[in-house]
């Protein structure tokens, strides 16, 4: 196995896989990629060769295994301090960790109704109130981060950080489900979509052969 390997699932559907992959690509961290299509008869067995949880993503470096998206981002920020994965300012850093934790554990309605599907663009619709509230919460988070800490660049904390990696799947969700966005949120999505690794991920997702019907029906 290579010195550093990232195990991911289907690019089209696996939002958790996207997060560390994007961070590593954007920061020029070299790694070998192993892609294991999910929800196949052999998926669990193949994943358990790498991941103690049997889930993606997992980062493997020698005897070290890190098997959660946010944990991987923390590990990479520590082992590659030049990436400045977290803001240098203590208040901004605490805010960045808070918004990442909220993304990691929250927004259940968004996950249920707007599953990531990079290949599809669904027609606009009216969302259940709980979905609309979570969409507004995310836009509020983005705006607050940009106004308080984002003056140095187009991303949540100015330069690209772990927080942007955590919210990258939301960008695909908002675009794919034609979610109406405030101008500031639209500008942030445009900046994220312009990243070469995001374009690379989309091209690879479109080339994947697998289709998972449970994520193709739309809302």
- List domains and CATH numbers for the chain: 5-83 (3.40.30.10), 90-201 (1.20.1050.10)
pLDDT of residue 212: 86
pLDDT of residue 1: 54
pLDDT in tens, 158-201: 999 999 999 999 999 999 999 999 999 999 999 999 999 999 99
Please, what is the average pLDDT of the chain? 95
pLDDT in tens, 71-123: 999 999 999 999 999 999 999 999 999 999 999 999 999 999 999 999 999 99
Cβ within 8 Å of residue 209, ≥6 positions away: none
For residue 142, CA distances in Å to 124, 164, 167, 177, 209 come to 22, 10, 9, 19, 34
Res 219 pLDDT > 80: no
Res 54 pLDDT > 70: yes
pLDDT of residue 22: 98
Phi, psi of 59 (to 5 degrees): -105, 130
pLDDT in tens, 114-166: 999 999 999 999 999 999 999 999 999 999 999 999 999 999 999 999 999 99
Residue among 197, 183, 200, 101 nearest 146 (CA): 183
First-residue to last-residue Cα distance in the chain: 40
Task: Identify the bridge partners of residue 58 per DSSP, sorted by sequence position.
Answer: 7
């Amino acid at each position: 196995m290579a010195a550093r390997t990232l195990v991911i699932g289907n690019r089209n559907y696996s939002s958790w896989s996207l997060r560390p992959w994007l961070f590593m690509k954007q920061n020029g961290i070299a790694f070998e990629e192993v892609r294991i299509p999910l929800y196949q008869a052999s998926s669990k067995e193949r994943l358990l060769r790498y991941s103690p949880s049997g889930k993606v993503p997992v980062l493997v470096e020698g005897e070290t295994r890190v098997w959660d998206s946010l944990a991987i981002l923390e590990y990479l920020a520590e082992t590659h301090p030049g990436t400045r994965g977290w803001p240098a300012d203590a208040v901004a850093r605490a805010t960045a960790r808070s918004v990442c934790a909220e993304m990691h554990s929250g927004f259940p309605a968004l996950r249920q109704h707007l599953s990531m599907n990079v290949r599809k663009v669904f027609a606009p619709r009216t969302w259940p109130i709980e979905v609309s509230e979570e969409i507004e919460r995310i836009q509020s988070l983005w705006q607050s981060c940009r106004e308080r800490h984002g003056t140095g660049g187009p991303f949540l904390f100015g330069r690209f950080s772990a927080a942007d990696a955590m919210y990258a799947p939301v960008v695909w969700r908002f675009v794919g489900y034609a979610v109406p966005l405030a101008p500031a949120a639209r500008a942030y999505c445009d900046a994220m979509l312009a990243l070469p690794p995001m374009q690379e991920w989309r091209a690879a997702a479109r080339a994947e052969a697998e289709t998972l019907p449970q994520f193709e029906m739309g809302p």
